[in-house]
Structure 1
Amino acid sequence: MSLRPGSLRMGLMGGACALLLTGTAVSAQEQVDSRPGGPGRVAITIYNQDIALVEDVRDLNIPEGRSRQEFPGVSASIRPETVGLSGRGLSVVEQNFDYDLLTPDKLMQSAVGDTIGIVRINPGTGRETTERAQVLAANEGVVLRIGDRIEVLRDDGVPTRVIFDEVPANLRPRPTLSVTLDAEGGGRRETTLSYLTSGLSWKADYVAQYDEAGGSLDLTGWITITNRSGATFTEASTRVVAGEVNLVSGGGYYGGGRSGNGTQFSDGAEGIADYYIYPLPGRVTVANNQNKQVGLLDVANVPASKRYLFQMGGFSTYEQAQSAEVAVLFQNGRASGVSQALPAGVVRVYVRDAGGEPRFIGEDEIGHTPAGSDIAITTGDAFDVTVQPRLVSNERVAPRILNTERSRYRMEYTVRNARSEPVVVEVRQTGLGRDTEIQDQSIQGEMRDARTIVWRVPVPANGQTVLTATIETGG
């Protein structure tokens, strides 16, 4: 007989693996309800940081006194220290999380030192022969003692199957949480198991179809849930939380869950503990190792406009003209029809060409945005709309306060437009000091804040506009 290493997997997978299970007695003080069922209903609340709160509701028949209840189908990435169990007249004595899953390899490894059955079938005659064998090792291959000979279980084309007398108690067909309970009275009752798990995450993505001529856009939003937790959540009531929760050393503080004093918004989003919670429509089945997309919003004819922006800090001359930044502007207020807070995500903008085909023009990322906010989606730079600043003069002026410096800058901004239609370019001058004054300007501007001046500069088609300003500011 030839011996080949590495035959464990081939020997087991090449034939059927049969199990002969033997029963074990359970004392009256420690009864086990090991029904294979999963939760009656489940709710998941998914946060931004690869963490989720699972609420697992099951109807269990629990005997009076102490018993051990098993909860198969929990997440393989459960954080056992976060488990909570509630139910009428129940107290928890201890809990165990068994995550060593039943596989042919692990079954064979657990049989080392024990005796198993080896069944071989003669391909020519179809005759079956069964021998008892002691498993000596299951490392890179399976080494057996059969009578007075040593064999390696191998894949040599002869149909072979292995018979095990029982499944080891430490191996489970799926991740299982077992909880020892002390119950006041027996009978069927509803229990709620809650825990934190890693392996669940979500993100938001948006598609904006922008109609520049019509001054509007159609906005579609999607929530993408990624499940790598090791469990499938079937028909789950699902919510996602916008906002960063504080996590400490692998544990967690989370601002969500079913209870708490929250604020309900007209759009269905709930505000709680400084976070937004978005309930997804209907119940969602999220399979393990799956990306699931669920619609968040779908709104048409949202008022929108295009903005050309040039911003510079400090006062200097640019030798080359600079392209203006292009953005699409809209608001998520009631008047726009969006009327809801938007979770952070990427917005991809499309426009239709002359033939009516959508063309991608750029994307931008937005943060968590409260309802009623002005939103600017930067799509790129306009090569045909440019601004060229020039520092005309710079002089010191008398300070108003002792031990301070004050300067007067004369600036010139040449704004050019090579497009066939007129545009308005927003020019922002930042980097201002204290007590800024605009002493002279060719176009009326405004102080956006203490350090920013903004001008809206109209530029004719295929033309240019020169903006001049004298700015006095403190150091």
Structure 2
Amino acid sequence: MRHFTLSILLLSTSLSLGEVAQADELSLTIYNNSRALVSDSRDITFRSGQQTIELPGVSSMIQPETATFVASGLSINEQNFDFDLLSPEKLMEKAVGSFVEIIRTNPGTGRETRERAKVLSVNNGVVIQVGQKIEVLRDDDIPTRVVFDSVPTNLRANPTLSVNVNSQQSGTRDANLTYLTGGLDWRADYVAVFDEDVGKMDLQGWATLTNNTKTTFEDADVAVIAGTVDQAGQYGRNNFNPRNFNPRGGNMRGAGTQQSGQERVGDNYLYPLPGKITVKSNQTKQVGIVDAQGVDAKKVYEYRAYGFNNMNDPQSADVRIAFSNARETGLGTALPAGIFRVYTKDNSGRSQFIGEDAIGHIPGGSSMALKIGDAFDVKVKSQVASNRETGRKTREIEMVYTVTNATDKDTTVFIRQNIGSSYQETTILSENVESTREDAYTALWPVKVSAEGESTLRFKVRQKSRW
């Protein structure tokens, strides 16, 4: 409470409404949308007939409507989720209208005084009635204890699901509780150590688990699902959503067609994590899921232009790491959505961070170009050499790109230019560097630039309106 310091004593600790069953086997399947499937198996001793079974230790963010409780010879009458957890604040709130005992200790003499008090209100402080007096409990350096006769039946030390059942027979048998919960999330985090000179990278991928519930899951079998599983309404908060992934310019150059080695569940991939894992409340934990050495990779420079514009100042080219997750490159696995961080070695052999990019779910065999930064020494400047109408629906545009390279290595800068739209027919009339068409509206020119040199790309296009 904000206005006083107290300790709590209980004269009675009767917490149970029925038989209490602790978890024997626990498994978690965690999705990318702050959601998880919990499977909780327990050996429970049932009496014959109607009874209430308490299942403590369930997630504090359980979706009770998704819970199923199954055991042989059992029918379920009712289930309740008690999520009010035992705490001094909750005890005081539940005691409104009831009597408690206030014990104060004189710090000088150690003498205790006891008073019977009725709790009137708990609202930005505690208001009590002692006899005919109304008093506010506050922090006045006098040690104070509040003694409660019992714990309210709807307060729990742990989140608890209680199930009222009819059992056809007595005896101990296995029961399984399955439910969905919010508050558990995961994403992939990748660490790549890139060697530009040999054109290789070593890659580690981690499943980063986050538990935002008030429940600790002990010694669980944990698996993560890579993919998008729809739900009728968003439950919980998702900090990284592959559906919203849309980095500048994109980074998947071609979707792959190679099947990955992971187990498929529906249209998603299942990654079982090794061993028994404890995921504590309010904890982030990392477990390895990808480990590949010597993957083919190279640094490339790209510049993306969406229109025909004059630049006042040269602009930096994108610095990208290009690689494929195809089998023949040394990787050969699908890559779940996450953050890709790239390191390299400096001249003294120390690792240095050089950039990061976000990726969506990447199928096996795809080609990637991850943007890790803006080039310091490689610049691009565009100029409109001419832009004129040549007919009622026709226009010709000539562009000049000047590419400079202030490094000590020859390089190639890929100029990716949007040259048209769905309401235009676009034709390249001339070019001094041969282009390729990525699609109907985009052309790609590989411009070679020598060390400490400059190159020029010049092209002319004709645009004809379709209407």
**TM-score (structure 1 length as normaliser):** 0.82
Consecutive unaligned residues of structure 1, counting only runs of 5 or more, are: 27-31, 253-263, 399-403
Q: Is 1:193–2:177 an aligned residue pair? A: yes
Query: 2:380 matched to which residue of 1?
Result: 387
Counterpart secondary structure, 2:376: strand
Query: 2:255 matched to which residue of 1?
Result: none
Query: 1:464 matched to which residue of 2?
Result: 454
Query: 1:441 matched to which residue of 2?
Result: 431
Paired residues for 1:56-455 under 5 Å: 56-116=40-100, 133-137=116-120, 139=122, 140-141=125-126, 143=128, 145=130, 161-249=145-233, 267-272=261-266, 274-394=267-387, 396=389, 405-432=393-420, 436-455=426-445
| Residue 20 of structure 2, aligned match among 26, 34, 39 | 34
* 8 Å contact kept, 2:299–2:322: yes
- Aligned equivalents of 1:126, 1:385: Cα separation in 2: 77
Letter in 1 for 2:280: A
* 8 Å contact kept, 1:406–1:473: yes
Letter in 2 for 1:202: W
* 8 Å contact kept, 1:48–1:203: yes
Counterpart secondary structure, 2:65: helix
Displacement of 1:92 in angstroms is: 1.5
- Aligned equivalents of 1:363, 1:6: Cα separation in 2: 44
Query: 2:250 matched to which residue of 1?
Result: none
Displacement of 1:199 in angstroms is: 1.5
Alpha-carbon spacing, 1:125–1:346, altered in 2? closer, same or farther (3 Å) = closer
Query: 1:17 matched to which residue of 2?
Result: 9
* 8 Å contact kept, 2:35–2:235: no
- Aligned equivalents of 1:62, 1:190: Cα separation in 2: 10
* 8 Å contact kept, 1:144–1:153: no
Displacement of 1:124 in angstroms is: 8.7
Alpha-carbon spacing, 1:219–1:134, altered in 2? closer, same or farther (3 Å) = same
Alpha-carbon spacing, 1:163–1:457, altered in 2? closer, same or farther (3 Å) = closer
Letter in 1 for 2:116: A
- Aligned equivalents of 1:339, 1:46: Cα separation in 2: 24
Letter in 2 for 1:463: G
* 8 Å contact kept, 1:93–1:181: yes
Query: 1:261 matched to which residue of 2?
Result: none
Q: Which has the larger radius of gyration?
A: 1
- Aligned equivalents of 1:23, 1:231: Cα separation in 2: 18
TM-superposition CA deviations, 1:175-231 (whole Å, max 9, x none): 111011122322222211112222222222222211110101111222222212111
Query: 2:27 matched to which residue of 1?
Result: 43
Alpha-carbon spacing, 1:346–1:149, altered in 2? closer, same or farther (3 Å) = closer
Letter in 2 for 1:270: R
* 8 Å contact kept, 1:446–1:453: yes
* 8 Å contact kept, 1:197–1:229: no
Counterpart secondary structure, 1:341: coil
How many residues align? The count is: 440
Task: Report the RMSD for the aligned CA atoms in angstroms.
Answer: 3.3
- Aligned equivalents of 2:462, 2:112: Cα separation in 1: 101
Displacement of 1:249 in angstroms is: 4.2
* 8 Å contact kept, 1:42–1:54: yes
Letter in 2 for 1:459: V
